[in-house]
Amino acid sequence: MNLQLVSPFKICPYKCPFCMAKGIEENSFSDDFYFQNKKEYLSKLVKIVEENDIKTIVFTGSTEPTLFPKWIEDCSEILKEKCPAVKREIQTRNYTYSNSDFDVVAFSIYQKLKTFPLINNVINRYVFIYNKELTIDDIINIRKNNKEVQLTVKILVSSSWNTSNVNEWIKENKKVFSSKEIEILKENNVRYDEDCSIATGRYIIYRCDGNIYNSWSEKKKN
Ligand code: SF4
């Protein structure tokens, strides 16, 4: 089981057109337990890891998590001290990020890039959000030039918690793979994620309000 560790909230500067967090303000997930009571927030994090047999912690957010370096540092420090066996990943759209204190840095990519971010001494993962701007060749060519990076491709999915503009963009820009293309992805060691919103058996979520959720669509507690 993985834990999705959600950063405090702040409007994200990146404005990805498929961003599921655009509806966050309306859903009021912007109250930040970390800032209200850091000590309790961190001890609850450790308790969650211990009680749920968490193997990997994914630093993520309803915004860009690297906007909160002190939160990253505080969570990392306590995890390294109290739960040293747990792997730590971060999901980011910040291509200038260079923190090598993670096991995995996963860069989210939905447009063609001229140069790809690469951090030394960590596993670099490129997570492609597949849409009309990308082709399967864009992804396979990276594999040809770099055998070391991990490659994942995600299919866009409309969701009830998305704003109507986001769901409209997804409808217009979503691309799927044929079964032959899925085989090509497998042959090239590219992980294919058809619906990353399915949480059951994969992950639980420690949201910034200090509560645990079983899915991104679960209604706010309290
Ligand atoms: S980087 Fe993430 S949170 Fe920010 S706009 Fe893009 S998808 Fe949304």
pLDDT tens sequence across 71-93: 999 999 999 999 999 999 999 99
Atom in ligand 1 nearest the alpha carbon of residue 63: 3
Is 129 touching ligand 1 by the criterion CB < 6 Å?
A: no
- Ligand 1 atom index nearest CA of 14: 5
The beta strand positions in the chain, using DSSP E, are 2-6, 56-60, 87-92, 104-109, 123-130, 150-155, 190-193, 203-206, 212-213
Q: Which domains does the chain have, with CATH numbers?
A: 2-213 (3.20.20.70)
Which ligand 1 atom lies nearest to the CA of residue 61?
3
Ligand 1 centroid–CA 80 distance in Å is 27
> Which pTM value belongs to this model?
0.94
In whole angstroms, give the CA distance from residue 129 to residue 116.
15
**Rounded Cα–Cα distance for residues 211 and 222 (Å):** 9
CB of 154 closer than 6 A to ligand 1?
no
pLDDT tens, residue by residue, 195-219: 776 777 789 999 999 999 998 888 8
The pLDDT value recorded for residue 31 is: 74
